[in-house]
Amino acid sequence: MKLVSWNVNGIRSVFQKGFREWLARENPDIVCLQEIKADLDVLTPRYTEVNGYYSFFNSAKKKGYAGTAVYSKVQPLFIETKLGFDRFDTEGRFLKLSFPDFTLFNLYTPNGARDKRDMGYKFEVYRRLFSVFKDSSRENAILAGDFNIAHTPYDLANPKENQDNTMFTPEERRQLDILLSLGYIDTFRLKYPAEKAYTWWSYANGAREKSIGWRIDYVFVSEPLKATIQDAFTRKEVVGSDHGPCGAILDIPFPVTVRPVYAKQPIQSVLL
């Protein structure tokens, strides 16, 4: 199974920049999107009826802000959209899809803000997520998305200059230490322990072309799935957003079921 995660910084924008063509070339079984910035009522069939995929959306209450989506070749058994934390839930930052062989979490965690005014919010989100992830760690669980934290000095181009900056402060990095201690594996680091590869670049000063970036988007799997990790990757060359896709290839059964050419399923909102 190939799973891809991508913060698209606007689903309508990335569709105009060749998303459908990219999807056909990459051909993932599942793609998780973050920061879709679109309300359900403006998501026309152009966005919801993508050939060969079921589509699921969790939009923010605030227009043009945050939100998540999943396209999947297989219909999940059940979908949840809420963590039980009102601010987080109204921003559409969470999609949990249950499949027969694993559970997938698509996440868009808060950034914390450059001036750190939202750090308390960010840490509270992680605290609440950890209680959910701890319960899932003994099962087959996949966590994909924009975590808004560069974990180690290998995960950004200029660690010394950024050690006090948002997304690389010691307390933020500790959140990913805790996640790993719960029994999760960073699929990319397992395969490439010391490789400098990034998933986000500033739009300023040609940062992407100069490889001055940050790896803040991840695919983690629980310990029971460690043996299934065949490969992991980042896609710097895929443009359309200030983020690039990342993903993993896992030896997990993911059969293609009989389905209509286009299929969109309603979201069931369930309080965790």
DSSP code at position 261: S
- Among candidate residues 39, 41, 115, 146, the one labeled active-site is 146
Identity of residue 150: A
Asked whether 111 and 145 are in contact (CB, 8 A), the reply is: no
Q: What are phi and psi of 98, to 5 degrees?
A: -100, 120
Closest CA to 232 of 211, 217, 246: 246
Q: Return all residues near 125 (Cβ < 8 A) that are at least 6 apart.
A: 83, 85, 88, 93, 109, 110
Write the CA distances from 127 to 22, 188, 223, integer angstroms: 35, 24, 20
Establish whether 146 is a catalytic residue.
Answer: yes
Q: Return all residues near 49 (Cβ < 8 A) that are at least 6 apart.
A: 55, 262, 263, 264
Residues labelled catalytic: 146
